Amino acid sequence: MLLDVEPKPTQQILPTPILQQTAFWAKVKSRQGWRTQAYNINIDSNYSLAALPYSAENGYHKITAGDILITLKDVGHNAQIAYVPYGPEALPHDDDRGCWLEVLSERLRHYLPETCFLIRYDLNWKSIWATDSQYYSSKGEWLGPPDPKSQEIRMNIGSAHWNLRKAPTDILPSNTVFLDLTPDEDTLLQKMKPKTRYNIGLAQRKKVHVREATPEELPSWFRMYQQTAQRNRIVLDSISYFSNVLQTSASDTLSPAQVKLLIAEANGEPLSGMFLALSKDRATYLYGASTSVNRNFMGPYALQWEAIKLAKAAGCAEYDMFGISGTPNPEHPMYGLYRFKTGFGGTIHHRQGCWDYPLNPILYESYRASEMASQGFHVK
């Protein structure tokens, strides 16, 4: 299986469509106060993976199965967590996932500070339960994964220590919609729901204009974001957080990314805005906001359609809508996003979410208890 991990500079992180596993993201998190580390993942050449992003020879009987970005955050006096956003990218077979993460964690342990008590993997892998028909309704709608204890039993089968725990909450979105951008624009429009096509046309008739804004216009977007956070009861990040994302450059690395600030407006007044990230052949709708007034102008629909066209023109093959409710439950706080984003067509993707590998069980249980007592949905 896994032979070793090999430290390397974050500037040498390999290109990937997963924005949060790029050298660009390492720079973003460094500017936000996180420490970052990168490692090549080397495996036995005889070991089979379900998905292998890279397969470069790396010595006798070893291949490099991609790499991994780890971010380290202080969470208390002389205590840190190692957080892996949407990584690792290399995908083991379903029955090997727990063993893979266990061995990877034990290799990484030797390079992490002694005061690091937890490795948290925010897994981008498709959920094991999303391919099982018994977790779908008669209408073909996903019912969600089983309870956390059942998930843990499945993940730890075959592992040596049974140490993997389902985290109390997912940090990055665990459910999303992927749009295939390879068809022409007319076909993309035809794949949308009729109401979505109508609202795009309505925005055009109301002369909603979408443009790329400058970093100096971030305060205008942030005012819309404050209104959005209040409406949806989400935790409010500071403007400096978004400024870091918008102004970071990684052009001197192997995996740069671009982030554009787009604003939809009518009659000179902003209606909605978004951060559009471009990494390798994927575009990601990273952060969005809209005003609480003039909603009949359908600014968010115009904004998404222009972003899709921009991403396609930039050579992207897919578009990540980045965050919906896992099921079409009207009671879910993200149900509005589910209706809005699925209207553009595409395929729903259920990620496996956050999984913990405690390095210090006592500190971990204390941290877990404090997390479970906290409120709010916070995306980082």
**Predicted confidence band at 54 (pLDDT cuts at 50, 70, 90)?**
low
State the pLDDT at residue 281: 96
Write out 31-82 in H/E/C secondary structure: HCCCEEEEEEEEEECCCCCCECCCCEECCCCEEEEEEEEEEEEEEECCEEEE
- The Cα–Cα gap between 277 and 260 comes to 6
- The Cα–Cα gap between 10 and 267 comes to 44
For residues 288 and 240, state if they share a domain.
yes
For residues 286 and 341, state if they share a domain.
yes
For residues 225 and 361, state if they share a domain.
no
Is 380 a member of any domain? no
Range of the domain at 299: 176-348
Write out 95-149 in H/E/C secondary structure: HHHHHHHHHHHHHHHCCCCCCEEEEEEEEEEECHHHHCHHHECCCCCECCCCCHH
> What does the pLDDT average to over 147-174?
95
Asked whether residue 330 carries a pLDDT value surpassing 90, the answer given is no
- The Cα–Cα gap between 277 and 25 comes to 11
- The Cα–Cα gap between 103 and 44 comes to 13
For residues 99 and 226, state if they share a domain.
no
For tokens 């006096």, name the residue.
Answer: 77
Q: What is the pLDDT of residues 222-239, one digit of tens each?
A: 999 999 988 877 788 899
- Bigger pLDDT: 319 vs 236: 319
> What does the pLDDT average to over 66-83?
94
For residues 191 and 318, state if they share a domain.
yes
State the pLDDT at residue 112: 97
Asked whether residue 53 carries a pLDDT value surpassing 70, the answer given is no
For residues 91 and 240, state if they share a domain.
no
Share of the chain above pLDDT 70, in %: 93
State the CB neighbour count (10 A cutoff) for residue 291: 18
How many domains, the chain? Answer: 2
State the pLDDT at residue 349: 96
For residues 116 and 219, state if they share a domain.
no
For residues 195 and 342, state if they share a domain.
yes
Asked whether residue 1 carries a pLDDT value surpassing 90, the answer given is no
- The Cα–Cα gap between 18 and 22 comes to 7
Instruction: Compute and round to an integer the Cα radius of gyration of the chain.
Output: 21
For residues 302 and 191, state if they share a domain.
yes
For residues 305 and 249, state if they share a domain.
yes
For tokens 């981008």, name the residue.
Answer: 124
Asked whether residue 58 carries a pLDDT value surpassing 70, the answer given is no
For residues 153 and 205, state if they share a domain.
no
What's the CATH code of the domain at 182?
3.40.630.30
> Three-class SS of residue 292?
coil
Q: What is the pLDDT of residues 293-306, one digit of tens each?
A: 999 999 999 999 99
- The Cα–Cα gap between 26 and 71 comes to 8
> Which one-letter amino acid corresponds to residue 139?
K
State the pLDDT at residue 368: 93
Is 379 a member of any domain? no
For residues 121 and 250, state if they share a domain.
no
Q: Does the global pTM surpass 0.85?
A: yes
- Residue 240: C-alpha distances to residues 71, 172, 264, 360 (Å): 19, 19, 22, 33
